[in-house]
Amino acid sequence: MNDVDLTGINLNLLVALDLLLRERSVTRAAEQLGVTQSAMSHSLRQLRELLGDPLLVRGRAGMERTTRAEGLLIPLQTGLQSLRQVIAGVGVFDPSRVERRFVIAAGDAVSTVILGRMLPRLRAKAPGISLDIVPFELDSWADELETGMVDLAVAVRFPDVPAIKMRRTGPERFVCLTRADHPSVGKQLDLETYANLPHLLVSPQGEGGPGVVDKALAGLGLKRKVLVRTRYFLAAPLLLENSDLVLTIWEAVARLFLQHHNLRQHDPPLELPNFRWGVAWHERVDQDPASQWLREEVLRALTGSEGGQSEEGA
């Protein structure tokens, strides 16, 4: 394959191409770049001629990317992100003196814990830093890290993906929650009551298979009834307060719920495995001081510690 002579190409077209492919709309791409729709349409015509491909074609739901455009999307975003880092330069990152937005992919429960612990520190020591929390999507998180659309991803389970680095927290534990005046539960929750109660299950990714509680109960010859299943942790305390449901949940989230709702925490009446949060980033930013600072702050928030204690993992 012959090298392309870049001297005859307006490199601003690459920025326009990135926006066009991501937005799949001339109008929205023009708004983001701050140009007229006519100017963006002209850029699209130039790109089509340059690349010998229509790039965007009309489909049932609007404009769709061609096969060539799909193949360009991630390499283009990765290249532009690397170019931005080269221009910005790599040096000492002083969070107290910069204005920057970081994007973190995480579920609603972990993001609530992270934000609650990080915001006081950010206000005091990094007033120019802002955070954008976006959903953790199983089918796209690795691509989002690679392209720079997301700076960090936080989850319990990560598929093994090349070029992704990770650190894990120390062990976290599960606890149980019920409403404080639950008619069937006293100060302690026994195994028979736990198995017979209707359960609330929070499943952020919508998994339908047995979870850690089901497996632990099955090992004892028991089975629970999941009466309500939801993807949203923050719906849980409202459901618990107004029902006889029991919820098994990460202890850090349980503490938040207890501060604002009439609930009671119980130790699980059976042995449940601990788990570890993973914080993942692309190897491209492994030595970037800003990325290093961000992941230390997130690990500190996850563990509730000053030192950001964690264990290396994969």
> Per residue in 184-205, pLDDT tens?
998 889 999 999 999 999 887 6
- 252 & 181 share domain: yes
**CA atoms of 192 and 188, how far apart (whole Å):** 12
Both 106 and 140 in one domain: the answer is: yes
Which CATH number goes with the domain that contains 58?
Answer: 1.10.10.10
For residues 47 and 81, membership in a common domain is answered with: yes
For residues 166 and 156, is the Cβ–Cβ distance under 8 A? no
Written as one letter, the residue type at 79 is: G
Residue 111 lies in a domain: yes
Does a structural domain hold residue 126?
yes
Q: Band the pLDDT of 55: cuts 50, 70, 90.
A: very high
Same domain flag for 257 and 284: no
Count of domains observed in the chain: 3
Examine the fold and report which residue of 64, 88, 112 is the final residue of a domain before the chain moves on: 88
**Residues 141, 288 within the same domain:** yes
Q: Are residues 225 and 305 in the same domain?
A: no
Are both 65 and 121 inside the same structural domain? Answer: no
Which residue range(s) make up the domain with 132?
100-163+276-312
Q: What is the pTM of this model?
A: 0.69
Domain membership flag for residue 257: yes
Are 150 and 287 within one domain?
yes
> What are the structure tokens assigned to 205, written together?
């990714």
Judge whether residue 208 has pLDDT over 70. no
Residue 210's pLDDT is what?
Answer: 74
The pLDDT tens digits of the residues spanning 98-118 come to 888 999 999 888 888 899 899
One domain, residues 283 and 260: no
**Residue 296, amino acid:** E
- Residue 262 within a domain: yes
Q: What is the pLDDT of residues 147-186, one digit of tens each?
A: 888 999 999 888 888 899 999 988 999 999 999 999 999 8
* Residue bearing tokens 């003196």: 97
Tell me which of 31, 59, 88 is where a domain ends. Answer: 88
Other residues' Cβ atoms within 10 Å of the Cβ of residue 237: 22
- Assess if residue 271 is contained within a domain: no
pLDDT the model gives residue 213: 93
C-alpha dist (Å) from residue 224 to 176, 179, 191, 193, 197: 14, 19, 11, 10, 8
**Whether residues 128 and 47 fall in one domain:** no
End of a domain among 44, 60, 88?
Answer: 88
Residue 147 · residue 284 · CB < 8 Å: no
Q: Are residues 12 and 79 in the same domain?
A: yes
Give the residues across from 129 on adjacent strands.
Answer: 100
Where are any strands of DSSP class E within the chain?
56-59, 62-65, 100-105, 129-134, 152-155, 164-168, 174-179, 198-202, 225-230, 246-250, 263-266, 278-282, 311-312
* 258 and 178 both lie in a single domain: yes
Tell whether 94 is covered by a domain. Answer: no
